[in-house]
Amino acid sequence: MLGADGRWAYASYVWAGDDAVRAPARGQMVTLPGGKAYAVPSTADCIACHGGARSPVLGFAALQLGPAVPALLREGLLKGAPAAWATRAPDFVAASPAEHAARGYLHGNCGHCHHGDVGDGGVPVPLRLALEVGQPPAPVDGAKVLRRAGTRNPYQQMPPLGTREIDAEGLALLAHHFNLENSP
């Protein structure tokens, strides 16, 4: 949450009836409908992801807002965007709908950390997504991405926090994407 002083306060919230209440700073275990346990992130977990990002807001980015960006700019709901976005929504270059979907998945699930602006923990996977025609993304080791996205081993999984199950549909999308790139 952005405070009046311009600083971000990190916290997790849980539903309590029709309202949300702040979870303890240490985190909290809750039982979801169906009986599944879920670990609500601690304040330290929040800072681990949001604190090192370009922006503390990780829930959406200009690429994910897509065609809505020009209208959001006109309404004064976005600031700091390139002037060109006032008439043309941001997008990245993709040769096919499958590539567009895979690059969107990589952006939304990996690009918050793996963007080349900060240390990537010794795993150089820059995911610069081209916003202009003729700018391809940086090379990505597809086998490594699939291996890390396909495990929930806490020492190897990607994303490292916030996920408990493998996204089988996303993994299939990425496998298809990397196979297409490597085929003649």
- Interval 74-105: pLDDT, tens: 999 887 888 888 998 887 777 888 888 888 88
CB atoms within 10 A of CB 12: 18
- Separation of alpha carbons 178 and 141, rounded Å: 9
- Separation of alpha carbons 57 and 152, rounded Å: 24
> Would you kindly state where each structural domain of the chain is located, as residue ranges?
1-51, 92-182
For 34-78, how does the pLDDT look when each residue is reduced to its tens digit (9 = 90+)?
Answer: 998 889 999 999 888 888 666 777 767 777 788 898 999 999 988
For 126-162, how does the pLDDT look when each residue is reduced to its tens digit (9 = 90+)?
Answer: 444 434 434 455 566 788 888 999 999 989 998 888 7
Average pLDDT over every residue of 158-178 = 88
> In whole angstroms, how far apart are CA 154 and each of 49, 54, 86, 95, 165?
15, 24, 42, 34, 11
The model's confidence at residue 122, banded by pLDDT at 50, 70 and 90, is very low
Phi-psi sector, 93: left (phi>0), alpha (psi -120 to 50), beta: beta
